[in-house]
């Protein structure tokens, strides 16, 4: 038997993770980080979710700790989220949150003298050459390895993902059989602290109106907007522009206050610039795929060129539609995460690239 601290979010996935570990004979302790005041049933760490987590712990007969981490969460995740949108990016707050969250859970495990930390994520951990690597979960529709890519190193070797080889349907069946009260809890939203949408959240946090130009791909002004933070690359609705066909946001430039729009085909890019690249096992960049958005399929890597200061250029084997600065780019070899970085934008001068999406174009040419 070994001690395991399970992060209970108040949803069905973490509840079943704790159930499976308990039934396997582990000494399980539940832990919930209270992160948000948004008391919405879709929010994974709201006061309602904390109460649900406590009810699950009671049914399972395991101890349960609740930690008020709202202040730290605001600094680590929310402030970064707001700043990223105001700078014209499209951030992944869960990717920022997960390493911090597991660090907090690991500290709780240390205090409880527990050797392991677990969660209800749909991902797996595999070992290669004595090292732990993150891998895709078996349920392709629920796989969360993309959102977990920044969790690596020694911390990854201490983690367990009991749901990695299960499907969501199987998890709900297990919860129902065990009489857990969270079987019908709605799926948590990607932005747990903004259940009503990111624009409403940003407006409430003081993101004011800032008049700017909407231009076409040639730079001609065709409309006005009230703040670049209201737009994200690939957006079609809410542009307020009459045209003879659908228009999409191609680029958002906070520096100039311009939003560039155009036809869908102009969204396709064949080369991507990355910042903050982390190398778990990229090797020579051979036989890699890259996932550029959470719900997008992985694309083949034709060439990986690593530059100084954690930057890289990636040539894609086929065009990708909807590239957005601030999103994560996660490298896979097969099902295994071998590295990642943050999208800076399409590479200027390459087919399909909107050059204004990079502030220092000469750095990438």
Assess contact for 116 and 2: CB atoms under 8 A. Answer: yes
| Nearest residue to 44 (alpha-carbon basis) of 182, 241, 212, 149 | 182
The answer on 358 and 292 residing in a single domain is yes
Alpha carbons 300 and 72: distance in angstroms, whole number: 38
Could you write out the DSSP letters of every residue in 247-279?
-EEEEEETTTTEEEEE-GGGGEEEEEEEEEEEE
Residues 33-79: tens digit of each pLDDT = 998 877 766 666 678 889 999 999 999 999 999 999 999 999 999 99
The answer on 16 and 163 residing in a single domain is yes
Q: Is 185 part of a structural domain of the chain?
A: no
The pTM for the full model equals 0.91
Q: For residue 336, what are the β-bridge partners? A: 135, 333
Residues 198-215: tens digit of each pLDDT = 888 898 888 888 889 999
The answer on 97 and 170 residing in a single domain is yes
The answer on 306 and 164 residing in a single domain is no
Phi-psi region of 118 (alpha: psi -120 to 50; beta: other; left: phi over 0): beta
The answer on 109 and 17 residing in a single domain is yes
The answer on 153 and 284 residing in a single domain is no
Angle of helix 47-60 versus helix 12-23 axis, rounded to 10: 20
The answer on 115 and 12 residing in a single domain is yes
The answer on 299 and 213 residing in a single domain is no
357: pLDDT strictly greater than 50:
no
Tokens of 248: 């999409």
**178 to 21, 119, 182, 198, 244: CA distances (angstroms):** 13, 18, 11, 36, 56
DSSP H or E run through 57: helix 47-60
| CB neighbours of residue 109 within 10 Å | 22
Tokens of 334: 């097969």
Assess contact for 159 and 121: CB atoms under 8 A. Answer: no
**Residue 237 belongs to what domain range?**
208-262
Q: Is 128 part of a structural domain of the chain?
A: yes
CATH number for the domain harbouring residue 154: 3.40.50.620
Q: Is 187 part of a structural domain of the chain?
A: no
pLDDT at residue 348, rounded to an integer: 67
Active-site residue numbers? 97, 192
């Amino acid at each position: 038997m070994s001690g395991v601290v399970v992060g209970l979010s108040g949803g069905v996935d973490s509840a079943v993770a704790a159930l499976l570990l308990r039934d396997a004979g582990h000494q399980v302790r539940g832990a919930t980080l209270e992160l948000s005041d948004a008391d919405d049933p879709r929010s994974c760490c709201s006061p309602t979710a904390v109460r649900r987590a406590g009810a699950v712990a009671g049914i399972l007969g395991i101890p349960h700790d609740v930690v008020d981490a709202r202040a730290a969460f605001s600094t680590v995740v929310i402030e970064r989220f707001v700043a990223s949108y105001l700078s014209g990016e499209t951030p992944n707050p869960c990717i920022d949150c997960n390493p911090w969250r597991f660090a907090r859970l690991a500290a709780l495990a240390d205090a409880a003298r527990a050797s392991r930390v677990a969660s209800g994520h749909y991902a797996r951990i595999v070992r290669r050459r004595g090292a732990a690597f993150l891998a895709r979960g078996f349920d392709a529709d629920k796989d969360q390895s993309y959102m977990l890519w920044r969790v690596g190193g020694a911390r990854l070797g201490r983690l367990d993902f009991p749901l990695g080889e299960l499907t969501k349907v199987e998890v709900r069946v297990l919860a129902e059989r065990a009489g857990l009260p969270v079987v019908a809890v709605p799926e948590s939203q990607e932005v747990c602290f903004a259940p009503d949408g990111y624009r409403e959240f940003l407006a409430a946090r003081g993101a004011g109106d800032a008049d700017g130009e909407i231009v076409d791909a040639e730079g001609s002004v065709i409309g006005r907007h009230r703040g670049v933070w209201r737009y994200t690359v690939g957006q079609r609705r809410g542009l307020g522009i009459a045209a003879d066909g659908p228009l999409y946001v191609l680029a958002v430039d906070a520096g100039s206050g311009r939003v560039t729009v155009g036809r869908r085909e102009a969204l396709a890019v064949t080369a991507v610039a990355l910042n903050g690249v982390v190398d778990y096992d990229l090797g020579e960049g051979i036989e890699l795929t890259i996932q550029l958005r959470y719900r997008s399929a992985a694309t083949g890597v034709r060439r990986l060129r690593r530059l100084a200061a954690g930057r890289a250029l990636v040539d894609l084997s086929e065009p990708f539609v909807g590239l957005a600065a601030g999103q994560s780019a996660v490298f896979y070899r097969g099902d295994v995460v071998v590295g990642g970085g943050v999208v800076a934008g399409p590479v200027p001068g390459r087919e399909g690239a909107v050059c204004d999406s990079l502030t220092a174009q000469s750095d990438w040419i």
